Amino acid sequence: MKKAFLLATVLAAPLWGMAQKSNLDAAQLLRDVQVLSADSMQGRLSGSEGNALAQDYILGRFKELGLKPYNGDFKQHFRIDAKRVQVDKATNLVGYIPGKSGKAIVVTAHYDHVGQRNGDIYNGADDNASGIGALLAAIAHFAKHPPKHTIVFAALDGEELGLQGARAFVENPPLPLQDILLNVNMDMLGINDKGELYASGTYHYPALKPYLQQVKPRPNAKLVLGHDQPEQGHDDWTGQSDHFRFHERGIPYVYFGVEDHPYYHKPTDDYEQVNKAFYPDAAALVIDFLERIDGKLERLPQKTQP
């Protein structure tokens, strides 16, 4: 994921104390990120031993939280044939919490990172152990508060090699694509000194804006809209993470992430850099949005054509 600074409009919202729905276990959230960004994971490059260790940890948490697998197996294997790396058995990890509507929301975050370079381990605490930590926190929430719509949780592989895991998911989905109402993608939620979490996607899907405006700010994090207009060039995040593969198929998305920081794709993207006050609140904002939209979402219009 690549991002840069952009002025945007902060969503107007009532005071934080008026409504807070998600009860997030901040200690567990941070523990998940700390484990996944440890040196032992070797930077989680697709196809590596460290990537396999990350898979094992995530699978253990899926089972602990009671997530259900499709056809008895959480693993979706696929091949990556990229310029830098060929991987015969890359692996998405996919499960779900059943709803009652027959339709689904797909929540994604990639667990791979860039591995090791010149003797340095690129631990990817923010990119994207933070997204996986929030995904696990969302599973924990909806396991206790059953959703209206089925929520599919996908920890995707191969994002750093060209959004390969997301491509594999939409090409071989565990449920019909026409039953997917929305993709919510999380990529880098853990480091922002201004307390700003961006929600990108309302330019293409303006019907999503009212749902995002209902999300109340937290003491250490607030939602900001932006980074989704074609004229913004590199500052347009539309094609810069896994949500793009859903967008290509006309599936509405919201992408939650922070702007670039000095640790992005550097060996210094370590657990110690994660903002321990901002990150739990940022993850809670995503869960609040999911809960609100799950209760009201029926069918969003397809993407606009600029």
The whole-number pLDDT of residue 10 equals: 31
The whole-number pLDDT of residue 24 equals: 95
The whole-number pLDDT of residue 244 equals: 98
Which residue ranges in the chain fall short of pLDDT 50?
A: 2-20, 303-306
Question: Can you say how many angstroms the Cα of residue 43 is from the centroid of all Cα atoms in its chain?
Answer: 18
The whole-number pLDDT of residue 84 equals: 75
Q: CB within 8 A of 144, min separation 6: which ones?
A: none
Residue 198 φ then ψ, to 5°: -85, 140
Q: Distance between CA atoms of 58 and 65, rounded to whole angstroms?
A: 11
The whole-number pLDDT of residue 3 equals: 41
The whole-number pLDDT of residue 297 equals: 77
Q: Which residue has the tokens 């790396």?
A: 85
Question: Can you say how many angstroms the Cα of residue 86 is from the centroid of all Cα atoms in its chain?
Answer: 24
Q: Distance between CA atoms of 135 and 270, rounded to whole angstroms?
A: 19
Q: Which residue has the tokens 């959703």?
A: 147
**Pair of tokens at residue 244:** 């793009």
Q: Distance between CA atoms of 234 and 71, rounded to whole angstroms?
A: 40
Q: Distance between CA atoms of 294 and 150, rounded to whole angstroms?
A: 9
The whole-number pLDDT of residue 306 equals: 37
Q: Distance between CA atoms of 117 and 125, rounded to whole angstroms?
A: 16
The whole-number pLDDT of residue 85 equals: 83
Q: How many CB atoms lie within 10 A of CB 177?
A: 14
Query: Going from the N-terminus, what domains does the chain have, and what CATH number goes with each?
Result: 16-296 (3.40.630.10)
The whole-number pLDDT of residue 301 equals: 54
- 143-153 pLDDT, tens digit per residue, is 999 999 999 99
